Each structure stands twice: as C-alpha cells, then as structure tokens.
C-alpha cells in the first residue's frame, strides 16, 4: 500500500491476482467522487504498466458496492455545462482504459451497485453479485432527471440486449442478483462465501460471457431502431410527459442515433447529460433527492428500536400499517373487535408480502410475524402502539385510556388520526407527553411520508423516537405541529374543494383533472377525491372548514348523501369498475374557464404559504418535501414553495388578488406572501 491511497486499498494474493477495494473514509456508502476516480486512474495506470494476473474490484464497506456518482458534486459542477462535459469525458476515458487493460477484470458486487457504480462494473470483463435481497443493481439516473453518462448507455445494450437495457435505463429500476443473472448483466450470482473464489476463477479461467439473445441484438439494428424508438417513446409517454421529464426522451434519441457505435454513444452521453444537468427538471429532481436525504437524516441518532408493534384497528389504514411493519421485519399484533374485521387485513398483507418478497419462505415468515390479536394482548409487549380506529373522539379516548396503563416503559403511544387535534386526544392520558401522531397516508405501501405529529404536550424525546421508528420501517418522517389537517391534508384540501366546486359549476371533470396533470400532478384532484373516498374527503373538509373558516361545497355533501362515495362504491364523480376509473373523452367543445389551473394550484399554494407562516413545519424545504412525498406534487417543480419562487412571488400574489376579486375571500392572499416577497 502506498501513501497516496486514501480511498482504494490494494491487495495482491499468491496467484498474482490484485484486489482493488474501495472504502471511502467517513462515508456510509461508497460514491464515485472526482477524488475517488482520480485515485482509480493511478491504479489503472499502474496496471497498464505492469498488469497483474487479474483484478477484482470490490467494496470495503459492510453494506453496498458503489451507490453511484457523487450527487453533491453535480450541484457544484452544474454551474457550468462545460465543466460537467469535461468531467464526463474524462471519466469515460478512464473507464475505457480500465476496459482495455490486458488482464481480466471483475466487479464483485455485494449490496447496492447503482448508477456510476454499475457503469464502472460494466467496464470490467466480468460482474458477479451476492445473491441476497440487499443486492440491487441498476441505473436510476432518470430519477434525477438525467441518464447514464459514464458509458452505461453505451455498454449496457451489449451485455443484456437493447430492449432490456433501455427498459432498465428508462425505468431506473434496480434488479436483484438473480434477475441480473437471468438478464446476463452479471456472470454469476453467488452466496457471499463464494464471492472471492468466484471472482478469482473468473479472472484466471477467463470463460466467455453470455451474449444477449438474437432478438435483443436485432432490436439495435439500424433499420429497426426508428421503429423501436417510436414504441419506446410511446411507452414512456404513458408515465412522463416530455416537457416535464426530458431525460428519457433524450436517452431514446441518443440510442436511436448512435446505438452500436461506442465512440459516438460516449460523445452523445456527455453532450446530453451535461445539457440535462443544466435544465430545471434535473435541478429540481436533485433538490427532491436532497430533500429525501434530509428527511432520512432526521431519524439518525438515538437508540430507539422497536421489535414489536401493536396496531389497534384493522381497517384500511390500520391493517396496512400493520402489514407494512411486518414486511419490514417487526413482530406485529393487530387488534380489532372481531376476527372477521381482522381477516381482510391479513388477506391484503399476504398480497403485499407476495408482491414485495416473492420467495415463499420470506412470505411465510412475514405472515408468521403478523399476529391477529382480538383481545389486544400485544399492547403489553409492544414497543410501539399505534391507534388507527375510526375518527371518533370518545372511542379514541376510551381506547387510549385503556391502553396507557398497560404500556411497557418507554413504549411509544401513537395515533394515526388525520383530523383530531392531538391535544384533545391526550387530555385523557395520565402522561400526555407520550402521545405522538404517526400519520400515514393511503396506500401505506406506496406513500413514503409519515407525518410525525407533536402536540403542545409531546416531549422532544417522544418525537425523536417516533421519527426514528418511521425510519426503521423505511418511511420518510416529517415533523409537524398538531394543527387542523396537519400539513399534507390541509394543503391538499382547498385544492380538492376548489376542484369539486369547479365541477359543480359545470366544468367537465376530465378537464379539471387534465389541467392538474398538465401542471404535473400524478393524479387529477377529482379522481383523487374518488380514490380517497368522498365521505373521507367530506369529513376532513368539514373539520378543516370549521377550523379555517372555509366553506364545504354543497355538491360534495349531496354526493355523499346519495351514497356515491367514489371508487369504493363504484360511483363518484367518475364511474369505477373493478378499481379502474372510467374517464370520458376530454371534450374541447365544453366550457373550460381560462383560470382553471390558477384556481386549482393557487388554492394549494396559498395554503402552503399559510402553513409556513403558522410554523406547521419548521421550514420551507420541509414543507416542500412533505407535499412532494405526501401528495406526489410534481417533483420536477421541486415542491410548491420552490415553484412559487420560480414562478415569481409577486406574480402569484397578483394572481390571487385577481381570483379573490372574482370569486371572493377564499382566494385572499395569506399574510405570509409579504414576508416571502421580502425574501425574494
């Protein structure tokens, strides 16, 4: 080992095979920073001069191979397209040199191998991966608004075939070791105990790697490429619009132009990625990435760790929270009044486990961890007790009173209420300090956000433990103040109400949802109301209306009174069949108000500004994070407040003034806009 080696450690064994072990000091995961690559360049140069018998590239970390490029450096670099372009070209050249080394090279992957990490691996002769669930291999760049730039787009089709490669890069999804083996992305999927032996065998025995099957190669044929590209664009268009998310389209263009030509692909990657990085979408998606990291970081430190969770209430929320906790490895007792009420939750849990865990052995273990508990015996054993019964103050009071004396020392007592102020719930407790809100969103398995709701009484320690627990079950914690609707529902509700009002005024539901989709929302507000359930919307709207002095449209009341509750009853604003919404054609001949989008989005933004002013969350970034992860708010816009800044605070405020002139007080700009204007 030489003095200059800070990131890479090298070892040479008796057979002359060298191991290059990456262990970035002080970091939890390895990333390919400029410094790491610079040191790799020295290793490559040395190997060029005196090649060892073979080279094994692996990680010195407990978990993970290489998590990707250093995203932090992107932020610094994307000040200038040229700097980025130059860095990419330099890295590509380095990987080319690695690929051309005279000895065989193998990437020994254990854990995460993502983005730049996989691109480095692709420059090796062989790849092998540890066949364990923690191994995830993929190119997730599109999720940051870019695409692979270190030769990934150029090399991947040669390994797995064109269609499979494009699918991986366009979806950004990560593969298990076994799936990667099936695709031919890795040469071997092995148990950890065989990782080094296999690596050595590969570099010394030099077997031929498997080639993609003929039709996978055929798809890259120059004559067929335009047709394939067209089909790919069509598939992508179903998920992401080009004006919102340009990266996948740029990748398809690049592939159509240059697939099969290594040098041109590399040059194209560099041009395209440096351009994308300079665009707003990528900047905002990077922002979202860092917001996510910030939420993840909130749960760090502290020693709280739960083994057993007790959930009371096996309805949609309670049952799904219980299933999620069991999926994440906790023992869960699920309580409700009768076995008949618990059974459907067990059925849903089973479907979830099967989808996520696949292996029957793991599904069985998760099912064994989820224990129906009609008598509520689990309360006394649980580290976390979550109340998720129906929204009724008296019922919750009775329950909390019964639970409190049975709790273990130090156990968390949480409520999943979405509308009852925690202060009101805590008043029956001997120790109101210990009640905290863990507000999950529906569907639990898809919505990453959990609002950590603190009342006036809740102790800091309890908030910290709850936050830590949210991380333990791999959710994103967002600390919020217990005020009506907390953060997410409060900001969502005026927007939903406005949508319902518009529909009541005779605007076609499809047009309203269309406007929201155009803005970048993942689902239109009318459809969302149907999915959530109009009865649920009404009850939340009424609670908020009381607290915030707004009105609930008559239309919503009459729909609920008529029993049209949305998806669950088969009929709401739309018809629903087998859980699928049936939408009509967007009829352009019908009346569409010019201020449709403004009425929807400014309702939301105005409420966001009010929440910030009232301190419902600590700062604007946390607010944006909450709305993005809690509602799916257009990630490429970077969050509502960030968007407000981009769109211009005074412009938006003027827009609200116009709307309040036309429609009344509900659009009166919140006082908070002035202080935002002051900052801008």
* Of 367, 429, 517, 548, the one binding another protein by CB under 8 A: 367
| CA–CA separation, 81 and 271 (whole Å) | 9
Q: Would you count residue 148 as binding another protein (CB under 8 A)? A: no
Query: Which listed residue (59, 258, 416, 489) is catalytic?
Result: 489
| CA–CA separation, 435 and 428 (whole Å) | 11
The stretch among 74-82, 161-169, 366-374, 467-475 that binds another protein (CB under 8 A) is 366-374
Decide if 17 contacts 204 (C-beta within 8 A): yes
Q: How far is the CB of 544 from another protein (least distance, A)?
A: 34
576 is catalytic: no
Q: How far is the CB of 352 from another protein (least distance, A)?
A: 12
Q: How far is the CB of 524 from another protein (least distance, A)?
A: 31
Q: How far is the CB of 360 from another protein (least distance, A)?
A: 9
The stretch among 369-377, 443-451, 526-534, 580-588 that binds another protein (CB under 8 A) is 369-377
Q: Would you count residue 373 as binding another protein (CB under 8 A)? A: yes
Classify each residue of 559-570 as buried b or exposed e, where b means 16 or more C-beta atoms within 10 Å of its C-beta. bbeeebbbbbbe
* Of 52, 378, 524, 553, the one binding another protein by CB under 8 A: 378
* Of 190, 202, 371, 560, the one binding another protein by CB under 8 A: 371
**Token pair belonging to 484:** 């009506």
| CA–CA separation, 519 and 635 (whole Å) | 11
Q: Would you count residue 302 as binding another protein (CB under 8 A)? A: no
Among 48, 49, 47, which Cα is nearest to 19's? 47
Q: How many helices (H) and strands (E) does the chain have?
A: 29, 18
Q: Would you count residue 312 as binding another protein (CB under 8 A)? A: no
Q: In what order do the strands lie in the sheet with 126-130?
A: 8-12, 17-22, 54-59, 104-109, 126-130, 188-190
Matching residue, tokens 């760790």: 305
Q: By three-state DSSP, how is residue 451 classified? A: strand
Decide if 65 contacts 110 (C-beta within 8 A): yes
Query: Which listed residue (451, 498, 527, 607) is catalytic?
Result: 451
Size, binding site for another protein by CB under 8 A: 25
Find the binding residues for another protein in span 257-276 (CB under 8 A): none
Between 57 and 314, name the residue whose CB sits nearer to another protein.
314
Find the binding residues for another protein in span 317-346 (CB under 8 A): 331, 333, 339-340, 342-346
Q: Would you count residue 377 as binding another protein (CB under 8 A)? A: yes
| CA–CA separation, 463 and 433 (whole Å) | 10
- Long-range contacts of the stretch 44-49 (C-beta < 8 A, 24+): 44/94, 44/97, 44/98, 44/101, 47/18, 47/101, 47/103, 48/97, 48/101, 48/102
Between 16 and 344, name the residue whose CB sits nearer to another protein.
344
564 is catalytic: no
Q: How far is the CB of 310 from another protein (least distance, A)?
A: 11
Q: Would you count residue 347 as binding another protein (CB under 8 A)? A: yes
Q: How far is the CB of 377 from another protein (least distance, A)?
A: 5
460 is catalytic: no
Q: How far is the CB of 117 from another protein (least distance, A)?
A: 35
Supply φ then ψ for residue 108, to 5 degrees. -100, 105
Q: Would you count residue 46 as binding another protein (CB under 8 A)? A: no
Burial of 90 (0-12, 13-18, 19+ CB in 10 A): middle
Query: Which listed residue (85, 162, 439, 576) is catalytic?
Result: 439
451 is catalytic: yes
Q: Would you count residue 557 as binding another protein (CB under 8 A)? A: no
**Token pair belonging to 23:** 């262990």
Q: What is the CA radius of gyration of the chain?
A: 27
Which residues are at the interface with another protein (CB under 8 A)?
331, 333, 339-340, 342-348, 350, 364-365, 367-369, 371-375, 377-378, 381
- List, by residue number, the catalytic residues: 418, 439, 451, 489
């Amino acid at each position: 080992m030489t003095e200059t080696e800070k990131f890479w450690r090298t070892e040479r064994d008796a057979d002359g095979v060298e191991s290059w072990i990456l262990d970035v000091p002080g970091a939890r995961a390895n990333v390919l920073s400029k410094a790491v690559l610079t040191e790799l360049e020295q290793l490559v140069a040395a190997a060029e001069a005196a090649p060892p018998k073979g080279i094994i590239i692996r990680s010195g970390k407990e978990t993970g191979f290489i998590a990707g490029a250093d995203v932090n450096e992107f932020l610094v670099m994307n000040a200038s397209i040229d700097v980025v372009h130059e860095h990419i070209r330099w890295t590509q050249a380095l990987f080319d040199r690695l690929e051309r080394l005279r000895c065989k090279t193998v990437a020994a992957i254990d854990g995460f191998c993502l983005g730049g990490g996989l691109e480095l691996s692709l420059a090796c002769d062989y790849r092998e991966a540890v066949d364990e669930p923690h191994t995830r291999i993929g190119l997730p760049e599109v999720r940051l608004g870019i695409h692979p730039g270190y030769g990934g787009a150029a090399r991947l089709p040669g390994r797995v075939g064109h269609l499979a490669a494009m699918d991986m890069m366009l979806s950004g999804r990560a593969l298990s070791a076994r799936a990667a083996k099936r695709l031919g992305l890795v040469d071997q999927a092995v148990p950890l105990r065989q990782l080094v032996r296999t690596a050595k065998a590969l570099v010394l025995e030099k077997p031929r790697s498997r080639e993609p099957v003929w039709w996978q190669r055929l798809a890259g044929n120059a004559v067929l490429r335009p047709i394939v590209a067209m089909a790919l664009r069509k598939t992508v268009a179903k998920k992401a619009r080009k004006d919102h998310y340009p990266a996948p389209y740029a990748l398809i263009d690049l592939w159509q132009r240059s697939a099969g030509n290594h040098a041109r692909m590399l040059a194209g990657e560099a041009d395209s990625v440096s351009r994308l990085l300079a665009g707003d979408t990528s900047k905002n998606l990077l922002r979202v990435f860092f917001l996510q990291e910030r939420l993840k970081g909130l749960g760090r430190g502290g020693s709280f760790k739960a083994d057993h969770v007790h959930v009371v209430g096996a309805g949609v929320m309670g049952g799904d929270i219980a299933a999620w906790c069991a999926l994440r490895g906790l023992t869960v007792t699920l309580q409700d009044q009768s076995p008949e009420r618990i059974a459907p939750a067990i059925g849903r849990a089973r479907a979830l486990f099967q989808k996520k865990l696949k292996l029957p052995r793991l599904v069985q273990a998760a099912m064994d961890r989820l224990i129906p508990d009609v008598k509520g015996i689990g309360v006394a054993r649980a580290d976390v007790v979550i109340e998720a019964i129906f929204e009724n103050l008296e019922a919750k009071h009775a329950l909390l009173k019964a639970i409190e004396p049975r709790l273990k020392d130090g156990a968390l007592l949480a409520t999943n209420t979405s509308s009852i102020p925690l202060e009101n719930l805590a008043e029956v407790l001997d120790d109101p300090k210990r009640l905290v809100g863990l507000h999950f969103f529906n569907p639990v398995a898809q919505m990453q956000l959990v609002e950590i709701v603190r009342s006036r009484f809740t102790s800091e320690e309890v908030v910290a433990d709850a936050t830590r627990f949210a991380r333990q079950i791999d959710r994103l914690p967002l600390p919020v103040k217990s005020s009506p609707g907390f953060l997410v529902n409060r900001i969502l509700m005026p927007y939903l109400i406005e949508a319902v009002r518009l529909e009541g005024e005779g605007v076609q539901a499809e047009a309203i949802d269309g406007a929201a989709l155009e803005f970048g929302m993942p689902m239109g507000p009318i459809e969302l109301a149907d999915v959530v359930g109009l009865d649920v919307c009404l009850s939340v709207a009424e609670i908020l209306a009381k607290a915030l002095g707004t009105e609930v449209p008559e239309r919503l009341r009459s729909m609920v009174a008529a029993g049209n509750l949305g998806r669950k009853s088969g009929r709401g604003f739309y018809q629903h069949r087998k859980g699928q919404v049936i939408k009509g054609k967007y009829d352009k001949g019908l009346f569409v108000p010019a201020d449709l989008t403004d009425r929807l989005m400014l309702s939301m933004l105005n409420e966001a500004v009010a929440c910030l002013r009232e301190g419902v969350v600590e700062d604007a970034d946390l607010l944006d994070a909450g709305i993005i992860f809690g509602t799916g708010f257009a990630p490429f816009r970077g969050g509502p407040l960030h968007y407000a800044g981009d769109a211009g605070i005074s412009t938006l405020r003027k827009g609200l003034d116009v709307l309040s002139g036309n429609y009344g007080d509900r659009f009166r700009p919140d006082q908070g806009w002035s202080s935002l204007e002051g900052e801008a």
